[in-house]
Chain A
Amino acid sequence: MRISTQYRRWMVAGTLLAGLAGVVRAENEAPVAAQVEDLKKQVINLNRDLFILEEDLLFPASTQLAVFLSVDTGKFMRLDAVKLKVDGEVVAAHLYTDTQLKALARGGMQRLYLGNVKSGAHEITAFVEGLGPDNRTYKKASSLTINKETDIKSLEIRLKDLSTNYEPEVSIVEWE
C-alpha cells in the first residue's frame, strides 16, 4: 500500500493547490513589469502627441468637421450599418460588429468621421439601417444644415428609441 499512499498524496496535494489558487493568486512580478508599465506610459503619451499632430496638420480647427454616433438603449432597432453624406457626397460608411454595438449600448460614442469642410453652409445627411424587434428592417435618415465657422464643428448622429410610437429615431445634433 505504499504506492497507493503515494498516489493519494500526489492527488490531494494537486487538488489543494488548485483549490487554493483563487486565494493565493498574486505571485511576485519580476522587475520587467515595472519597466513595461513605464514604457506603456511613454507610449500612451507618444500616441497622444502623434494623434494631436495629425489632427493639427490634417484637420485644422478652421476646417475640421467631426461626426460621432451614439445609440440610446436600442430596444426598437439593432443597428446594422450607417452611411454619412456631406453635401451629397458619401464620406463615411460603417458596418457594426457585436462588440461595437455593445460598446455603443454602454454609452460609448463612435468617431464616425473626421474631415475638412470650408467655411459656410453644408448639408449633413445620415442614413441608418438596422433590424427591429420582429426582424423588421428599418431604414432611417436624418439631415441637418450646418454653418461651419472657424472653430471645430462636432456633430452627433443620435439613434434613440421613441416611446411615443415605439419606433427608433435618428437625429443629428450639434455639439457646442
Chain B
Amino acid sequence: MPSKNVLTLVLGVLLGSLAHPAAAVSKDKPPERANDPAYGAALFQYYQGDSFQALTELSVAEARGGIKGHGDHPALLRGGMMLAYGMTRSAKGVFQDLLKQDADPETHNLAWFYLAKVFYLERDFSSATDSLSRVVLESLSADRPELYDEALYLKGQIALALNDEPKFQEILAQLPENSVWRPYLQYNHAIQPASAGVLKETIARLQAIELSEDSPLPENERLALQDRMNLTLASFYLDDNENGAAMATFQKVRLEGPLSDQALFGYALACANQNEFGLSLQALLTLSERPLFNPWVQQVPYALGYLYEKLDSREQALNAYTQASNAYVTLKNDLDGMIEHMDEAAILSALQLDVEKSAAVVMGADGVPVDSYGRIKIKPANFNLAQRIASEAFQMGLRDLHELYRIRSFFKDWNTRLNAAEMILATRENQFQASQKEAHQQLVAQPQDVLSDQVARVRQQIDSAVAQENTDFFMSETQLDAQAFIQSVRRKVDALADPSLRQEFDVKLKRIEAYFTWWVADTYGVNRWQAQKPLQALSRELDAYVSRRERVEGWVSDAKDNQTFAGRIQSLRSQVEGLSAGLEEQIGVAQRRLIDLVRQDLTRQRKEVMGYLVATKEARARLLDEKYRSQSLARPEAEPVSQEGAVQ
C-alpha cells in the first residue's frame, strides 16, 4: 500500500483543525439567514472554497454601499477569507483595522483572537501573546466555546515555544479534558525535551498521554494521532535502548496506516537489537518490496545484508550487499538524472490531489481543493519528493504558483469579457447614432428657447387681459375695424362747429358706441377662446418638442455613458496588461523557487544514498576479503575470488 508522507499527515491534521477563522465563526452553529444577499452570495462562494470569488463579492458589496444587517461580521469574514487566499498580511490589517473601530465587544474579542492566530503563524510570539491577553476568555467561552479551547491551545503552544513550563502547566490545567486540542498540546509538550536529548522525560510524557476511543476527535484523526504517538514513543524507546518496549510499541502502529513503513523499519531495527534476527529479516523483506524512493525503505537493502551477516549467512549477506550496491547505484543515477532535468512537470507528476478519488494536479485550474491557508491538498504520487512535499516552504511555493496560474487564466478570461463588453458598446452606439442624428437636426431647426419665450409672453398677455377683464384685448378683426371707424367718426363729430349738428350726431354716435360695446361684450367669451386656442396648440407643440428634446438628450446621455463605459473598459484593459507583464516574471520566480527546493531535497537524498552505497561497498569488500582469506587458508594455491559483479 502506498504510504502517505507522515509530515503531510501531521501538518494536515494540525493545521486543518487549527486555522479556519471564518469557518470557526460559523461552524457548529445553526445556519443563520443572511440579512443581505451580497453577504449570502459571498458566503456561498467561500464555503465552496473559492476565496477569490468570495473576496470579490465582498469587495463589490463594499463598493455599492456595504453589507447591511451584519454589523462588523463581514470584516471578520473578510479577514478569514484573506487567510484562506494566502493573504496573511492583508488579513492582519483587516483585524487591526477592526480593532481600531468602535465595534461591539464580541467582534473586538474575536478580532483579537484571530489577530493572535495570525501573529502565531508568523511566529511573532510576543505580539501573539499580547493579542491573546486582550481576548476576554470568559466571553469567548460563553459565545464560542470551540474558540475558547483553541485560544488556550495557542497560549500553550506559545508557552512551549518560550520554554515556559509553569505557564504551560497552568494553561493545560484550564483546557477541558475532552478538548480536541488537548492531545495535540500534550504531544507537542511531550516531544519537547527530546530536542535537548532528554529521552526519559520525553518517554514519560508520551506514556502519560491518554487518547481514548471516547475522544471527541473524528475517528480518522484520532487513529492518525494515535499512530503518530505510538511511532514517536517507540522511536524514543529504541534510542533509549529499550528494544523490547520499542518492538511492542511499533507493533501498535496500524499496518494499513500511513506510518506503517517507518514502523516496520523501526520494528526491524528493534528486533535486530534484541537479536531477534528472524523477525527483523521478515520485516525488512516486507519493506524491500516497497518503492525504494521512500526514504525509510532506502535503508532496507543495506540492512538486509547486515542482518544476513548477523545470522552468519555470509553468502546471502554477500549477495544482499551486492544487490544493495547495484540498487543504490541505480538510485543514485536516477537521482542525478532527476536533479539535472527537474522541472515543473516532473514535480507535478510526483503529486496527486488528496481527494476521495486521486487526481492529477492541474495548476491554476478551478476546483483544486485547498486548505484554510490556500495550500493545495496533495499527496505524493511517488516517494522521491515525499519529504519535500510535506515542508511548509514547498506547500507555500506550490500555493503561490497555483494562484499565479489562476491569475493568468483570469487575465485571459477577462480579456475575452472586455472584448465582449466593447462589442456590446459598439453595437449600442451605432444604434444611437442613427436616430440621434435625425432627431438632433430637427431640434436645431426649432430652438426651444425662442418658442418657449413666445409662448410665455403671449400667455402672460392673455392672463393679464383676462384678469383685468380687458374685452378690447380679445376683439375680433371686424370689431377692431369697427372700433377704428367709430373712433374716427368720433373725432369728426367732436370737430363739428355747429353745436346743434354736433349734438344730433353725438346722440347717434353714442347709440352706435353703446351697441358696439354690447357687441364686444357679447362676443368676449368666443373671442377669448379664439385667442387662447392657438396658444394651447402652441403649448402642446412646445410640450412635444420638450419631450423629443429630452429623449434626444437621453440619447446624448447614453452616448456619454457609452464613453464612460469605454473609458472604464480601457482602464481595466490597461491594468490587466500592466499586471500581465509582471505576472510572467513572478511565475518564473515561483517555478524556480519550487524547483530549487526539490533539487535541494534530491541532493540531500543523493548524499544519503551515497552514504549507503559506500557502507555497502565497504561491507561487501570486507566479506569478500574474509571469504578470500578463508579460501586461501583452506586452499593456499587457489586463485583469488572473482570480482565479477562488483559495483563500479
Contact assessment for A44 and B59 in the assembled complex, using a CB-CB cutoff below 8 Å:
yes
Task: Tell me if B269 and A23 are in contact (CB < 8 A).
Answer: no
Which chain A residues lie closer than 8 Å to B269 at the CB level? Answer: 4, 7-8, 11
Among A47-55, A115-123, A133-141, A164-172, which stretch is in contact with chain B? A47-55
Proximity string of chain A (123-162) to chain B, C-beta cutoff 8 Å, 1 when within and 0 when not = 0000000000000000000000000000000101000000
With a cutoff of 8 Å between Cβ atoms, the chain B residues found around residue A53 in the complex are: 421, 565, 568-569, 572
Q: How far is the CB of B20 from chain A (nearest CB, A)?
A: 12
| B40 with A109: CB separation less than 8 A | yes
Contact of B579 with A106 in the complex, beta carbons under 8 Å: no
Tell me, in angstroms, the Cα distance from A99 to B239 when the chains sit together. Answer: 47
Contact of B34 among A26, A36, A107 (CB under 8 A): A107
Q: Is A102 an interface residue (CB 8 A)?
A: yes
User: Is there a chain B Cβ closer than 8 Å to A46's Cβ?
Assistant: yes
Q: State in angstroms the CA–CA spacing of A71 and B410 once bound together.
A: 30
Beta-carbon contact of A44 and B576 below 8 Å: no
Task: Report yes or no: A4 in contact with B272, Cβ–Cβ below 8 A.
Answer: yes
The one of A29, A45, A107, A154 in contact with B32, judged by C-beta atoms closer than 8 angstroms, is A107
Chain B residues contacting A47 (CB-CB under 8 Å) are: 52-53, 56, 59, 410, 414
Contact A26 B392 (CB under 8 A): yes
Contacts of B569 on A, CB cut-off 8 Å?
A: 53
Answer whether A40 and B33 are a contact pair too, CB < 8 Å, given A46-B579, A54-B421: no
Q: A32-B586, A32-B593, A110-B44 are in contact. Are A3 and B579 (CB under 8 A)?
A: no
Are A103 and B47 touching (Cβ within 8 A)? yes
Q: With both chains docked as a complex, state the minimum distance between the C-beta of B623 and any C-beta of chain A, in angstroms.
A: 13
Tally of contact residues, A, Cβ under 8 A? 69
CA distance A44 to B90 in the complex (A): 12
Whether the pair B262, A50 counts as a contact (CB closer than 8 A) is: no
Q: Are B586 and A29 in contact (CB under 8 A)?
A: no
Q: Which residues of B contact A51 (CB under 8 A)?
A: 56, 60
Asked whether, in the complex, the Cβ of A106 is within 8 Å of the Cβ of B590, the reply is: no
- Name 21 A/B residue pairs within 8 A (Cβ), A-sorted: A4-B306, A11-B265, A12-B239, A14-B262, A18-B232, A25-B14, A27-B393, A30-B397, A36-B86, A43-B579, A44-B59, A48-B56, A48-B59, A50-B417, A57-B425, A103-B48, A106-B43, A108-B44, A109-B34, A109-B41, A156-B37
Binding site for A on B (CB under 8 A): 6-7, 10-11, 13-15, 26, 30-34, 37, 39-41, 43-49, 52-53, 55-56, 59-60, 63-64, 85-90, 121-123, 157, 160-161, 184, 187-188, 191-192, 194-195, 228, 231-232, 235-236, 238-239, 262, 265-266, 269, 272-273, 295-296, 299, 303, 306, 390-393, 396-397, 400, 403-404, 407, 410, 414, 417-418, 421, 424-425, 565, 568-569, 572, 575-576, 579, 582-583, 586, 589-590, 593, 608, 615, 619
The 8 closest A-B pairs by CB, nearest first: A109-B40, A108-B44, A103-B47, A15-B235, A108-B43, A48-B59, A27-B393, A12-B239
Interface residues of A, Cβ cutoff 8 Å to B: 3-4, 6-8, 10-12, 14-16, 18-23, 25-30, 32-37, 39-54, 56-58, 66, 68, 70-73, 99-100, 102-111, 154, 156, 175
- Beyond known contacts A37-B90, A41-B90: 10 more, CB 8 A cutoff: A12-B236, A16-B195, A19-B228, A39-B407, A47-B410, A47-B414, A52-B64, A53-B568, A54-B417, A109-B40
